[in-house]
Structure 1
Amino acid sequence: MTLGQYYPADSFIHKLDPRVKLFETLVFIIVLFLVNHPIGYILVTAWTIFIIALSKVPVSFMLRGLRGIVVLLVIAGLFNLFLTPGNALLTLGPLVISDAGLQNAILMTVRMIFLIVGSSVMTLTTTPNQLTDGLESALHPLSKLKVPVHEIAMMMSIALRFIPILIEETDKIMKAQMARGADFEQGNIIRRAKNMIPLLVPLFVSAFRRANDLALAMEARCYNGGEGRTKMKPLVYDRRDYISYVVICLFLAVLIAVHFMPGITF
């Protein structure tokens, strides 16, 4: 799972201000669920390839993160395929595949793939500290309403950082249990669910232990929230950040224009 990991490299994307990358990710997510035209999907694909090339993150490493959501993609695709009403294309007993269901299944799968890849670019090119500072700065206006912005940004950053750690821990525990004779792949769904108990219990224990160690480490360093805290490396916009903002806004404007284009739409 690549989401939550950081891939060190000397690239244009790595040097961008984290607030720019957060804004670009937000725009990208909005665009994904806005496009309904073939030209829009072509532009989104070209933009994704362009961003990955600028980040200098290997494509194979980027696509590796999709393996963890294969089951989710299949479930979402099947739900859209069989539960969307429309003109029947194929009947399999009580299940009916419609033209609208086939279209929605393909579009939803493509959107989820782009969503994971686009979000991974942000986390792979941004360190946890930068991500925390960027979130805190972006949400700073909410502090006027007494919203604990610093604490929210810190929790989101820690949660993202813990994703690859817990996945690695799961893999270790699973291999240890399989070495002792555990079987996670055979039997019906109830049998498999019962076989997951020896995996979930030590995983939860490990997660709570890591959380407790992190809390003790923060207390030992006298962490008491964001009030009155200064930053070692304050965020300052550079020329490339302003250029990136302009390019992102132009990309959003083009996709909005394509959205209202007449002709073939999905």
Structure 2
Amino acid sequence: MLQNIVIGQYIPVDSPLHRLDSRAKILCLLALAVIVFLANEFWSYTALVTTVILFVVLSRVPLKFFLKGLLPIFILIIFTFFLHAFFTNEGAVLFSVLGFSVYSGGIEQGVYISVRIGSLVVFASLLTLTTTPIDLTDGFESFLRPFKRFGLPAHEMALMMSISIRLIPTLLLEADRILKAQAARGADFAKGSLRTRLETLTAFIIPLFVRSFKRAEDMATAMDARGYRGGEGRTKLRVLKWRARDTIACIIVAGVGVVLALLRDF
């Protein structure tokens, strides 16, 4: 399941979202991360879900791949739903389970919060699924460049952020391999006392850290062998260009925010 995480992966297809400037997509993601919290009633959440579906369709990422990748996130969403369903005491009592009364307001809040979390994950996933690592680094660097006057290494910071995002699926794949290898050797992470589980977990954490540091060392060696010395004096083969479609995309996202604000129940 761990290897199915979509955040950090890139799918090379031709779509309207792929053709957008990386800076426009980063701005849209930041705006959408705020916009999702404007929804607080049925029609505003309906508009939010419609926006999510529209963006997924425009990305042209295979739906089967997308659903498979979001499966691990569904566990968190389901947990959040039940947390609100059993501990939010608002509205009428629907039924009782094991001494817990489930209220209509709890079900409603559980659904709404789950939609928010799911929307945020989808929007974040679309950024990496539709943007190459180089364009993502250039986009981050473009926004960090004004802070160079204060001594901030913009290029190095952008590169570090991009590498960190791209390493998420790689490290998850490594974690999945270690879990399977330890399970094949008889390790059981679900049984035994708390102390036994912690000791067993050590057999997973230590190899994961060792492999992570080894991968980081190999990457540093490769960059050094290619003459990487930071951003000073470096030129770019592909220069980012802001086009009319990027402006239109930002306007559309702003329009979504206005719609949600108008539908918001004050």
Task: Give the TM interval when normalised to the shorter protein.
Answer: 0.7 to 0.9
CA apart distance, 1:151: 2.2
Question: Match of 1:173?
Answer: 178
- d(CA) in 2 for partners of 1:235, 1:119: 21
1:39 paired with 2:43, answer yes
Q: How far did residue 221 of structure 1 move?
A: 2.2
How far 1:85 moved relative to its partner?
A: 5.0
- Bigger drift between 154-163 and 233-242 goes to 233-242
SS in 1 for 2:230: coil
**1:64 aligned to 2:68?**
yes
Q: Deviations over 1:209-250 (max 9, x none)?
A: 001111112222232222332211110112322222222222
Q: 1:61 Cα deviation (Å)?
A: 1.1
Q: Give 1:252 shift.
A: 2.0
Secondary structure of 2:38's match? coil
Give the aligned length: 261
Q: Corresponding residue for 1:54?
A: 58
8 Å CA contact 2:7, 2:168 repeated in 1: yes
Would the aligned equivalents of 1:55 and 1:125 in 2 still touch at CA under 8 Å? yes
Q: CA deviation at 1:38?
A: 1.6
CA contact (8 A) 2:86 2:106 kept: yes
TM-aligned CA deviation for residue 100 of structure 1: 4.1
TM-score under structure 1 normalisation? 0.87
1:82–1:95 contact (8 Å) kept in structure 2: yes
Contact 1:62–1:120 at 8 Å: present in 2 too? no
Code of the residue aligned with 2:20 in structure 1: it is: L
Query: For residues 123 and 142 of structure 1, what CA distance do their matches in structure 2 show?
Result: 24
2-structure distance, mates of 1:114, 1:150: 30
Change (3 A) 1:86 1:190: farther
Tell me the amino acid that sits aligned with residue 185 of structure 1: A
Q: Equivalences for 1:43-122 in 2 at 5 Å?
A: 43-86=47-90, 89=93, 97-122=102-127
In structure 1, list runs of 5 or more residues that go unmatched: none
1:21 paired residue number: 25
Code of the residue aligned with 2:51 in structure 1: it is: W
1:130 corresponds to 2:135: yes
Q: List gaps (5 residues or longer) in structure 2.
A: none
Q: Work out the CA distance in 2 between the residues paired with 1:226 and 1:158.
A: 15
Work out the CA distance in 1 between the residues paired with 2:117 and 2:172.
20
Amino acid corresponding to residue 135 of structure 1 in structure 2:
F
User: Normalized against structure 2, the TM-score is what?
Assistant: 0.87
Where does residue 9 of structure 2 map in the other structure?
A: 5
Equivalent residue, structure 1, for 2:218: 213
Distance 1:104 1:193 in 2: 35
Listed one character per residue, the Cα deviations across residues 30-54 of structure 1 (whole Å, up to 9, x for unaligned) are 1111111222111111111111111
CA contact (8 A) 1:88 1:96 kept: no
- Report how far residue 88 of structure 1 moved: 7.5
Q: 8 Å contact 2:7–2:128 — kept in the other structure?
A: yes
1:153 and 1:96, CA in 2 relative to 1: closer, same or farther beyond 3 A? farther
Q: Which moved more, 1:191-200 or 1:30-39?
A: 191-200
Q: Once the 2 structures are TM-superposed, how far is the Cα of residue 147 of structure 1 from its aligned partner?
A: 2.6
Tell whether 2:169 aligns with 1:164: yes
Post-superposition shift, 1:113? 1.2
Identical pairs, percent: 39
Query: Larger deviation: 56-65 or 95-104?
Result: 95-104
Q: Which amino acid aligns with 1:57?
A: V
Q: Distance in 2 between matches of 1:219 and 1:225?
A: 10
